[in-house]
Amino acid sequence: MAKFLIVEARFYDHLNDMLIAGAKAAIKAAGHKAEVITVPGALEIPGAIALADQTGDYEGYVAIGVVIRGETYHFEIVAGESARGIMALTMDGVAIGNGILTVENEQQALVRADPAQKNKGGEAAEAALALHTLKDRFGG
């Protein structure tokens, strides 16, 4: 049994709860264990994963958050830079699934967060699990 860390940016409680439920269910279904930590916003997720990875306690990570477009350029920064940070860690061999929704409005987020609909939390967990499997195969 491997241990996965879900790193959530708790910006929208009800949406996060659904994304986390989907992620936890996928990790449990694969026979692994999940822990959750919370950071203020999506921009803090890559740094939190980098810190957690130094411990060697986790086999993989699921990034969970919701970024909804507002009036300013801030959306591009938060959406783009969180993804960039996650991708940089992934290229260093860290098994991460990106479940940070980057959407135009809450309705889009609801459909994607709901485990009974698009289940993007579960999808991100599946991505982390897949990378973990590849690390085992190729030795990372």
Ligand X SMILES: CC(=O)[C@@H](O)COP(=O)(O)O
Ligand Y SMILES: Nc1c(NC[C@H](O)[C@H](O)[C@H](O)CO)[nH]c(=O)[nH]c1=O
User: First-to-last CA distance in the chain?
Assistant: 18
Please choose which of ligand X, ligand Y, none residue 31 contacts, taking the beta carbon within 5 to 8 angstroms, the exact cut-off set by kind.
Answer: none
74 is catalytic: yes
Q: Rule CB under 6 A: say whether 106 interacts with ligand Y.
A: no
Residues across the chain? 140
Inter-axis angle of helices 120-138 and 106-113, to 10 degrees? 50
Q: With beta carbons less than 8 A apart as the criterion, state whether 125 and 97 touch.
A: yes
Greatest Cα-to-Cα distance within the chain, rounded to the nearest angstrom: 45
Q: Rule CB under 6 A: say whether 71 interacts with ligand X.
A: yes
Tell me whether residue 8 is annotated as binding: no
Q: Rule CB under 6 A: say whether 41 interacts with ligand Y.
A: yes
Residue 56 Rama label (left phi>0; alpha psi -120 to 50; beta): left
Which range, of 1-9, 56-64, 66-74, 88-96, touches ligand X by CB under 6 A?
66-74
Which residues participate in catalysis according to the annotation?
74
Contact residues for ligand X (CB under 6 A)? 67-72, 74-75, 78
Contact residues for ligand Y (CB under 6 A)? 9, 11, 40-44, 65-68, 74, 78
